Structure 1
Amino acid sequence: MKIATWNINSVRLRIDSVLRFLKEEAPDVLCLQEIKCRDEQFPARPLRSAGYEHIAVSGQAGYHGVAIIARAPLKDVETRKFCGKDDCRHIAATLPGGVRLHNFYVPSGGDEPDPAVNDKFAHKLDFMKELAEWSVGEAQTHSKKAVLVGDLNIAPREHDVWSHRQLLNVVSHTPVEVELMNAALEKGKWTDVARELIPEPEKLYTWWSYRARDWRASNRGRRLDHIWTSPPLRKAALSGGRAAFAIHDHCRDWERPSDHVPVTLTLDL
């Protein structure tokens, strides 16, 4: 089973890119974040025409939003409101074989890494704390087979950013964010698939700012997009080796690209 995750940064604006990616990579399921549209505005028709007939959407006008697109039926679709906010940052569904898939879009946190003066950063920290506590129950409830994917907006390791030293006080790589992500990983007993298959010191990025005139030349990236698996899926996630995992950075060169690129994992089920 090939699972893909992509912060598309407006699915209606970039539907041609989504269709191109589906044609080229043929994942069984694609999780999108930051779709930026209401449920009824989601471009389902071209996706169904491309063979992805099963779609679950949690959207809102202009901001955030997540979706799951699949070839096979999606069962038990649900959403969870984190931090008491109905801002469409989570959607889950059960895939064939009983795999429970969770698609997340964690708050970006704004620019100032101080929760006392930045409500957006405070929200992000609260979200990650709740995610860690939720992971405890998720590990117990769906300990059989669970996958967590999405734009988690945190680059946790030294080599997940272009400069560890220069980004220590930049939102997405601050010690408090990294600590909270590590707590979620530990409490949920999740496997961070990318770093299990591609250990440091190799650099891994999934996001590059629009501000760079030549993103590839400057290569000031961050690994913000993640795929985690529960203990019973650890072997299925890792047995294919490095070839089973991919960061599709060539998509960053496409016309009107997202600042994120797709990430895929083939589970050996």
Structure 2
Amino acid sequence: MTPLRIATWNINSVRLRRPLLAELVKALDPDVLCLQETKCPDEHFPLDDLRAFGFPHIAHRGMKGYNGVAVLSRIPFAVRDGDPDWCGRGDCRHIAVELDTPGGPVELHDFYVPAGGDTPDREANPKFAHKLDFVAEATAWSRARGAKPRSVLVGDLNIAPLEHDVWSHRQMLGVVSHTPVEVEALTGWMRAGDWHDALRHFVPGDQKLYTWWSYRAKDWETSDRGRRLDHVWVSPDLAGRLSRHHVHKPARGWPQASDHVPAMIELSL
């Protein structure tokens, strides 16, 4: 069996936090690193710097100041074409590749779902409507494709679906990211693609699990008011090949840290 380590991280500006990638590689040693919110137009993406971290194969889709996704890999891959332009916006929230792995390719999707603003009301808040529409399109896409073998989906999905994915289920029910309509939408997306929750494969649902802590909380570590906004899903045939996971909470304390921390799974292929 060959181990395959896939990590995901909302880096919140790849150019600003480029030095932190050295810390991430040292701590996690991923074979593949998926980034979200790179906030970098393609012509300014720091390819040479990122290759120096040991990732010769890089695919990226970015725009100035907002959004953006990238896949950095030690393993050769082919970039997938023909996936949807979500909500017709061309806003660089998804990239997919086929990794050249033992036993056949692994299809890897990297998503950055809209955050949805502050008001959980479709009519009053266009950002929330966009979020729900995005997830609805992704759900329909997954249902139309059916369960795809040897597939992995990662990213900042901006929804914490389970009770213990947030610091207080009761207090968060009316807060964007944990509202019932969002939880139902994300659960529907998972079911449509028959996805398996890889992080909860290792951490039971009755235990707290977070990947994000707000910038607004200076005492984030002490108060620990986190949310699990970052996810790793695998196809059912890969669930039995999950061998390890890691959520790197120390990254939230790095200088100029992102408010998200990296999450990684290891597959035995």
Gaps of 5+ in 1: none
SS at match of 2:38: coil
Q: What is the letter of the counterpart of residue 236 of structure 2? A: P
**Percent identity at matched positions?**
55
Matched, 1:268 2:268: yes
Deviation at 1:129, TM superposition (A): 0.7
C-alpha distance in 1, partners of 2:123/2:27? 46
Partner of 1:228: 233
C-alpha distance in 2, partners of 1:201/1:147? 24
User: Following superposition of structure 1 onto structure 2, how do residues 145-160 of structure 1 map, counting pairs within 5 Å?
Assistant: 145-160=150-165
Matched, 1:2 2:5: yes
Deviation at 1:46, TM superposition (A): 1.5
Deviation at 1:178, TM superposition (A): 0.2
SS at match of 2:182: helix
Partner of 2:32: 29
Q: CA RMSD in A?
A: 1.1
Give per-residue Cα distances to partners, 1:18-42, cap 9 Å, x unaligned: 1221133210000000000101111
Deviation at 1:106, TM superposition (A): 0.1
User: Following superposition of structure 1 onto structure 2, how do residues 241-260 of structure 1 map, counting pairs within 5 Å?
Assistant: 244-260=244-260
Task: Judge conservation of contact 2:21–2:53 (CA < 8 Å) in 1.
Answer: no
SS at match of 1:226: strand
User: Following superposition of structure 1 onto structure 2, how do residues 178-197 of structure 1 map, counting pairs within 5 Å?
Assistant: 178-197=183-202
Partner of 1:161: 166
Q: What is the letter of the counterpart of residue 74 of structure 1? A: F
Gaps of 5+ in 2: none
C-alpha distance in 1, partners of 2:129/2:197? 25
C-alpha distance in 1, partners of 2:113/2:249? 21
Q: Which moved more, 1:42-51 or 1:250-259?
A: 42-51
Q: What is the letter of the counterpart of residue 225 of structure 1? A: D
Task: Judge conservation of contact 2:154–2:232 (CA < 8 Å) in 1.
Answer: yes
Matched, 1:99 2:103: no
Partner of 1:80: 84
C-alpha distance in 2, partners of 1:137/1:212? 42
Q: More helix by proportion, 1 or 2?
A: 1
Matched, 1:38 2:41: yes
Q: What is the letter of the counterpart of residue 100 of structure 2? A: P
Deviation at 1:197, TM superposition (A): 1.7
| 2:117 alignment partner, one of 89, 100, 110 | 110
Deviation at 1:85, TM superposition (A): 1.1
Deviation at 1:214, TM superposition (A): 1.2
C-alpha distance in 1, partners of 2:176/2:23? 32
Deviation at 1:49, TM superposition (A): 1.6
TM-score (norm 2): 0.95
TM-score (norm 1): 0.95
